Amino acid sequence: MATRARARRRPANGGLQGSAAFTPDALSVGARHLEVGNEWVASFAVTGFPREVHPGWLAPLLTYPGRLDVALHVEPIDQAAAAARLRKQLAKLESGRRHTAEHGRLFDPQVEAATEDAYDLSSRLARGEGKLFRVGLYLTVHALSQRALADEVAALRSLCASLLLDAKHTTYRSLQGWVSTLPLGLDVIGMRRTFDTSALAAAFPFTSPDLPAADPTSVAAPSGVLYGYNVGSQGLVHWDRFGEGMHNHNSVILGRSGAGKSYLVKLELLRSLYRGIEIAVVDPENEYARLAAAVGGTCVHLGAPGARLNPFDLPIHTRPDGRRTAPKDALVRRSLFLHTVIAVLVGGELQAGERAALDRGIAATYQAAGITSDARTWTRPAPTLRMLRDQLATAGRAGDRAAAELAARLHPFVEGAFSSLFDGQTTTNPEGHLVVFSLRELPDELKAIGTLLTLDAVWRRVSNPAIRRPRLVVVDEAWLLMKETSGAEFLFRMAKASRKHWAGLTVSTQDTADVLGSDLGKAVVANAATQILLRQAPQAIDDITHTFDLSAGERQFLLSADRGQGLLSAGTQRVAFQALASPAEHHLATSNPAELAEYASDNETGDSLDAEQPYLDLGFAAEHIDLDSGTEAA
C-alpha cells in the first residue's frame, strides 16, 4: 500500500532554502517506486562488485541515455579497526579452508580467491600502501510513467549486469533509496562494502578512462587543470602539463577559425593561475585584455605611443640579493639574435655579404655605445636601431655596397612610417603573474617582428636562473611568426629549451598550413607533449591526418566537431572532450561580438558581471556541470 505526503510550503518569495530545494510538491511511496511530483523513480543499492576493475570503470553509468542519479558514499575506516577486521576475516577464511581439507572436500574457487585477496590487502595495509573505506553505491532512475519506469529499470539492470554489478531494488525502502541519491550526503540505506584506496580511486565515476590516472595511493593533492568533459564517457578530462613523466611542458592547439582555440587557451590560463603558474601571452588581437584586468595582470600595448622594446638590450638578470648578472656569452648571443631581428624586418634571408656587413655593423654599434666583451660594460645603456643604421650607412659611404643596401632597407624602421616601435630605449619591463603583450595597435607589417621582440623579452625573464617557478608562454595566432623562416627558427629553439627552465610553450594557430607546411613547423609540433586538435577545415584535414596519424573516426570527429570540442592527445592516449566554463569564466573568455555587445549594454545598466572582480571569486566549471546532460546547470 502506498502512502502520500504533502511537501512543506515554499517561502513566500518563491525561493528555495536548504533541504527545501529537494522537496517536491507531492510524494507517493510504493514498495519499489516513488511518485515524486509528476515523475516515477526507482532506487537500487549495489551489493555485488567485480573482482578486478580498471580506472573509470563506472563511467558507463554516466553515459546512460535516460536520467540516472548516481551516489557514491565513502566513509574511511580507522587503521586499527581495519586491521582487526582483516584478521577476523582471515581467520574465518582459513578456518573454512582447513575444515574443507580435513573432510576431503573440493576447494571452493571463490573462497580461495577471497583468501588470496585478503592476504594481499592485509600486506599492503601493513606496508602503509593504502587505507580501507566503507563504500555505498546507490542508483535512482527517473521516468514519466509507470510503464516507462519498468523499461528504464530493465535497461539499468542490464547495464549493471554488463559491468558485473549486482543491483538490488531497495524494496520497502524506496524513500530511503531516493534520499540516499540526493546531493545531501545522507546514506540512510547503509548497504556498504569495504574498498581499499586503489579500488575506490578506480570506482570514482569521474575518472577518465582515456588519460593516465594519477597514482591512487598518493596522498598528494591532485594537480593539473580541468579541460572539460569526455564526449564519450561524460567523465571529466583533467590534465597536468607539468606532471611527472612528461617529456616537456609544451602544447600546440590547431583549429579552424571559430573553433574555440582562444577560448580554450583562456580557460587553461585562468585555471593555471590558481596553481601559481606565471603566464605571458602574445596577443595579436587584444583578446586577453579583459581577462588580464579581471585577474590583476599587466597589459602592454605595443604600437601605442611610447611603448617600445629595444632588441639591443642585453639579458641582464637581477638576483634576489639585488646583484645584476648576465650569461658569459650574453653579447655574442645578442648579436646572433639581432641577425634574426634584421632578417624578419627586411622580410627575407640575408645574403652572405649582407650578413657579414651586418655582423660588422652590430659590433661597431655596441662599441660606439661603450659596450665591449668586458662584462662590466654590459650595464651601460644599450644602443638602438638608429645607431646600427648609422654605422651601416657610414660603412656604405666607405665603399661597402652590402652595408649601404642594408642601411637603406632599415630606413623605414628608423625614420619612416614604422619607426615608433624602435625609436628609443625600452620603455617597459613588465612583471607579474600574468603579462599580456597586445599587438593589435601594430601595423600588419610589424606584427611578425612585434611577436619576435615580445618572445625575446619573455624568454629573458623565463631563462633568469634567479627565479624558479613554473611558467607558461602563450603565442596566439603563431602563423604570424611561422611564415617567416627566422621567426620559425626562434620559436623552434624556444620550444626545445623551455623544458630546462621549467616553462611550457603554448602555440595556437588557425593556419595549419603554415605550421605543417615546413620542417620547422612540424618540429615545433613534435616537441609538444600535449597536442589539441579542434575542428578542422576539409582542405587541411589530410595534412592533420598524416601528421597526427588519425584514425578514420578521429578524422570524421574533427570535421564535424562543434565549437569547443576537440581531441586531446598526450603520448599514446587520446580523448575527445568538450570545453566547459562557468558563467564568470565565459564572460572573460568569449570573443563573440554579439555577447560582447550585450555585456557592454548591460554594463551601462549595471546588470552584468563585473569584469574587474577579484579572480578568486570566479566559479569553476566543475561546479556547473550537469553530468547527465553534459551541459551547464541552471
The dihedral region occupied by 438, where left means phi > 0, alpha psi between -120 and 50, and beta the remainder, is: beta
Q: What fold, for 246-306+430-579?
A: Rossmann fold (3.40.50)
Instruction: Tell me the pLDDT band of 498, cut-offs 50, 70 and 90.
Output: confident
Query: What percentage of the chain carries pLDDT values higher than 70?
Result: 81
pLDDT one-digit tens code per residue, 292-330: 889 888 888 888 887 888 888 887 765 555 566 666 778
Decide: 50 and 164 in contact? Cβ < 8 Å: yes
Query: Strands 251-254 and 324-325: what pairing?
Result: unpaired
pLDDT of residue 619: 36
Least confident of 140-144, 292-296, 432-436, 626-630: 626-630
Instruction: Tell me the pLDDT band of 609, cut-offs 50, 70 and 90.
Output: very low
Which class for 535: exposed (0-12), middle (13-18), buried (19 or more C-beta within 10 A)?
A: buried
pLDDT of residue 323: 61
Least confident of 33-37, 105-109, 398-402, 407-411: 105-109
Which class for 171: exposed (0-12), middle (13-18), buried (19 or more C-beta within 10 A)?
A: exposed
* 76 three-state secondary structure: strand
pLDDT of residue 361: 92
In 66-184, the DSSP E strands lie at: 68-76, 132-143, 166-169
CA geometry: angle 41, 43, 49, nearest 5 deg: 150
Domain ranges of the chain: 1-10+21-74+132-222, 78-130, 246-306+430-579, 310-425
pLDDT of residue 612: 40
pLDDT of residue 616: 38
Neighbours of 605 (CB within 10 A): 7
Instruction: Tell me the pLDDT band of 102, cut-offs 50, 70 and 90.
Output: confident
Query: Strands 324-325 and 317-318: what pairing?
Result: antiparallel
Cα torsion for 180, 184, 185, 188, to the nearest 10°? -30
Give 240 or 620, the one with higher predicted confidence: 240
Decide: 432 and 297 in contact? Cβ < 8 Å: yes
pLDDT of residue 485: 73
Which class for 18: exposed (0-12), middle (13-18), buried (19 or more C-beta within 10 A)?
A: exposed
Q: What is the mean pLDDT of the chain?
A: 79
pLDDT of residue 322: 53
Give 613 or 429, the one with higher predicted confidence: 429
- pLDDT higher than 70, residue 187: yes
User: Average pLDDT, stretch 509-515?
Assistant: 75
Q: In this structure, what DSSP letter does residue 184 have?
A: T
219/98 Cα distance (integer angstroms): 39
Q: Which of 558, 550, 547 is nearest to 523 (CA)?
A: 547
Least confident of 20-34, 111-125, 550-564: 111-125
Instruction: Tell me the pLDDT band of 147, cut-offs 50, 70 and 90.
Output: very high
Inter-CA distances, 582 with 6, 236, 372, 587, 588, Å: 35, 15, 55, 9, 10
Q: Which of 197, 210, 186, 160 is nearest to 58 (CA)?
A: 160
Instruction: Tell me the pLDDT band of 13, cut-offs 50, 70 and 90.
Output: very low
Query: Strands 193-196 and 132-143: what pairing?
Result: antiparallel
pLDDT of residue 154: 92
For residue 153, the surrounding DSSP H or E stretch is: helix 146-162
Place of cell 524494496: 171
Cell of 321: 640579493
Sign of CA dihedral 409, 410, 413, 414: negative
pLDDT one-digit tens code per residue, 218-238: 444 456 788 888 887 667 788
Which class for 64: exposed (0-12), middle (13-18), buried (19 or more C-beta within 10 A)?
A: middle
Instruction: Tell me the pLDDT band of 142, cut-offs 50, 70 and 90.
Output: very high
Cell of 457: 623579452
- pLDDT higher than 90, residue 168: yes
Place of cell 581577462: 291
pLDDT of residue 611: 40
- pLDDT higher than 90, residue 140: yes
Helices 330-346 and 352-368: angle between axes, nearest 10 degrees = 130
CATH architecture observed for domain 310-425: Orthogonal Bundle (1.10)
Decide: 94 and 87 in contact? Cβ < 8 Å: no
The dihedral region occupied by 228, where left means phi > 0, alpha psi between -120 and 50, and beta the remainder, is: left
User: Average pLDDT, stretch 77-92?
Assistant: 74
Decide: 237 and 577 in contact? Cβ < 8 Å: yes
Sign of CA dihedral 155, 157, 159, 162: negative
The answer to whether domain 246-306+430-579 and domain 310-425 are alike in fold is no
Least confident of 36-40, 574-578, 589-593: 589-593
Q: Which of 112, 129, 99 is nearest to 201 (CA)?
A: 129
pLDDT one-digit tens code per residue, 527-569: 888 889 999 888 888 888 888 888 888 888 899 888 889 999 8
pLDDT of residue 514: 66
pLDDT of residue 430: 77
pLDDT of residue 62: 76
Cell of 566: 576537440
pLDDT of residue 189: 93
